[in-house]
Amino acid sequence: MKPLVIFEMANNHMGSITHAKSIISKYYQLTKHFRDTIDFAIKFQYRDAKTFIHKSVISSTDSQIQRFRTTFLPRSSWNKLIHFSKNKFKLICTPFDEISVDNVIKDKYDYLKIASCSSTDWPLLETIGKKIKKGKIICSLGGASEDEISTILSFFATRKLNAQFLYCVAKYPTSPCDLNLIYFNELRSLYGDKIAGISLHEDPSEYLSGALGYSMGARIFEKHIGLPTKNIKNNKYSVNLKQMEKWLKYLNMSIEQVGTIKSRKSNIPFEKKQLQNFQRGAYLKDDITKKSNSKIKFNNVGFHFPRNEGQLSANDYSMFSDFTTKKEIQANNQILVKDLKIKNSRGKIIEIRNKVRDLTARSNIIVPKASRIEISHHYGLDNFYKHGLSMIEIVNQSYCKKYLFIFKNQVHPPQFHKKKKETFLILFGKIELIITFDKKVTRMILNPGQIFTIEPMMIHEFKALSTHGGVIEEISTESIRSDSYYLDESISKNKSRKSMVSFY
């Protein structure tokens, strides 16, 4: 998905629809160079002209009150701007009062944006929560404490609203030393992808913030924009066209260099081929000749540069590798892969261990030292990714705790326990659980944080649906090996269906 850059026009239209259209047109032209990699939105602000400012101060000389009063636009002008903009940008609007919430909904904006000053305006949030229904919401968190941020996110989560949040610095402008982008990472560690971007109000000449934010995971960016003229000056935190262009160029470079996991994986075969030019090749020693169907032991071999095309390399050797000749190989000759039968009895186990480690990192669980992974390959290692399970036993006394690791589309076959009662808590990924009890079959999808208790005699099987698999915390009464009964008796008869490997 492309990142979204929001152009916040705020009151920089200066109450002029002509100037507003000029800003929109100029910035639309600018974005044409970046639209292959970036999505763009224009953001307006709604304040009800009759009620937003209290009547007792409507004539005040206060600069902020004067600014709002002189930049109010009638509904007819907003309709013209919406029509003018909708084929150029995604449309976003910030309402600052309840009447404006109704107008944002009525005008069918793509997003409703909540400003930092309104993120704890509970009367306004309650109105939004009741009226926005399925609309998209973006909320800035500037000035909010940790407790307030937790409360804000909880407000939207309990109402099941489609909301994303921006790490925001509400200093106008923000100096480089006050950006503290590391706090974006802190919020992401607590709340995940809900913390979707940044709104920093940095100095207009700052051009690295977007690139740095993107590399840290930000995918929504808010920038205040303006268009200086002879009579209009930008405020201290709004960029001009040249400043915005430079900022976008650095963001674009970051997008290219951060890249994708898919692209990285596609490069690996090329890298391997390149690295082969620097590897040592395997040669039989001077005094060793091997006849056909002979084992080549480690002490029969020397490793030397260069490695030739098709030659066995030092990198192919491990303590688990087993090499048998297909034909006679003379002393001091290179050993070619095509002349060997190669068996790596431990390679698959190590591969599974590495995948379990990856799942552990993704799910942020802590594995005790000296832990071992129990790998269940019910129908053999070759079929492990179709039917299987990896497990780490944390404790097994009168009570038991285990971590269960299951990869995408991998199925744990149906089984039941006569004594054990177990509760599944989903820690990571999406799990399909199928329960058969009293001849009734129940299918359910469990997401992180959901639990289900499996009673004795309940037949249960489960499958991971998420791209990176799933992790289940199993809490149960004592686990006894003889208390697991598979419906497919061939599984129980397979005495070689389990392998153990150290986690670390």
pLDDT tens-digit readout, 316-367? 887 567 899 999 999 999 999 999 998 876 778 989 999 999 999 999 999 9
Q: Are residues 140 and 26 in the same domain?
A: yes
Question: What pLDDT, on a 0 to 100 scale, did the predictor assign at position 320?
Answer: 60
Q: Are residues 22 and 113 in the same domain?
A: yes
Instruction: Check which CATH number belongs to the domain holding 281 and give it.
Output: 3.90.1210.10
Which residue, of 194, 225, 259, is where some domain finishes?
259
Which residue, of 293, 316, 343, is where some domain finishes?
343
* Residue 35: inside a domain: yes
* Residue 268: inside a domain: no
* Residue 265: inside a domain: no
* Residue 446: inside a domain: yes
Q: Of the candidates 67, 111, 73, which has an alpha carbon nearest to the alpha carbon of residue 91? A: 111
Question: pLDDT tens across 101-160, in order?
Answer: 999 999 999 999 999 999 999 999 999 999 998 899 999 999 999 999 999 999 999 999
User: Is the backbone peptide bond immediately before 448 cis, with ω within 30 degrees of 0?
Assistant: no
**What is the C-alpha to C-alpha distance for residues 409 and 99, in angstroms, rounded to an integer?**
49
* Residue 416: inside a domain: yes
- Mean per-residue pLDDT for 174-181? 96
Question: What pLDDT, on a 0 to 100 scale, did the predictor assign at position 378?
Answer: 93
3-class secondary structure per residue, 415-467: EECCCCCEEEEEEECCEEEEEEECCEEEEEEECCCCEEEECCCCEEEEEECCC
Q: 238: exposed, middle or buried (C-beta count within 10 Å: 0-12, 13-18, 19+)?
A: buried
Question: What pLDDT, on a 0 to 100 scale, did the predictor assign at position 106?
Answer: 97
- Mean per-residue pLDDT for 13-24? 96
**What is the C-alpha to C-alpha distance for residues 236 and 409, in angstroms, rounded to an integer?**
54
* Residue 435: inside a domain: yes
**What is the C-alpha to C-alpha distance for residues 56 and 422, in angstroms, rounded to an integer?**
66
Helix (H, G, I), strand (E, B) or coil at 98: helix
**What is the C-alpha to C-alpha distance for residues 221 and 411, in angstroms, rounded to an integer?**
41
Q: 324: exposed, middle or buried (C-beta count within 10 Å: 0-12, 13-18, 19+)?
A: middle
**What is the C-alpha to C-alpha distance for residues 213 and 265, in angstroms, rounded to an integer?**
24
Contact 405, 367 (CB under 8 A): no
Q: Are residues 291 and 227 in the same domain?
A: no
Total domains present in the chain: 3
| Higher-pLDDT residue of 346, 7 | 7
* Residue 387: inside a domain: yes
Q: Are residues 160 and 201 in the same domain?
A: yes
Q: Are residues 287 and 325 in the same domain?
A: yes
Q: Are residues 232 and 95 in the same domain?
A: yes
Angle between helices 146-158 and 122-131 (to 10 degrees): 20
* Residue 44: inside a domain: yes
Q: Are residues 368 and 305 in the same domain?
A: no
Question: pLDDT tens across 409-447, in order?
Answer: 999 999 999 999 999 999 999 999 999 999 999 999 999
Question: What pLDDT, on a 0 to 100 scale, did the predictor assign at position 345?
Answer: 61
Question: pLDDT tens across 256-299, in order?
Answer: 999 999 999 999 999 999 999 999 999 999 999 999 999 999 99
Instruction: Check which CATH number belongs to the domain holding 433 and give it.
Output: 2.60.120.10
Question: What is the pLDDT confidence band of residue 245, given thresholds at 50, 70 and 90?
Answer: very high
Q: Are residues 312 and 412 in the same domain?
A: no
**What is the C-alpha to C-alpha distance for residues 489 and 486, in angstroms, rounded to an integer?**
6
Q: Are residues 359 and 329 in the same domain?
A: no
Question: What pLDDT, on a 0 to 100 scale, did the predictor assign at position 481?
Answer: 86
Separation in Å, CA 237 to CA 26, 30, 199: 19, 19, 11
Question: What is the pLDDT confidence band of residue 246, given thresholds at 50, 70 and 90?
Answer: very high
Q: Are residues 10 and 103 in the same domain?
A: yes
Question: pLDDT tens across 22-46, in order?
Answer: 999 999 999 999 999 999 999 999 9
Direct distance between the N- and C-terminal alpha carbons of the chain, in angstroms, rounded to an integer:
35
Quote the domain boundaries for residue 300: 276-343
What is the chain's mean pLDDT, rounded?
95
Which residue, of 259, 287, 305, is where some domain finishes?
259
Q: Are residues 179 and 316 in the same domain?
A: no
**What is the C-alpha to C-alpha distance for residues 213 and 151, in angstroms, rounded to an integer?**
25
Q: Are residues 211 and 305 in the same domain?
A: no
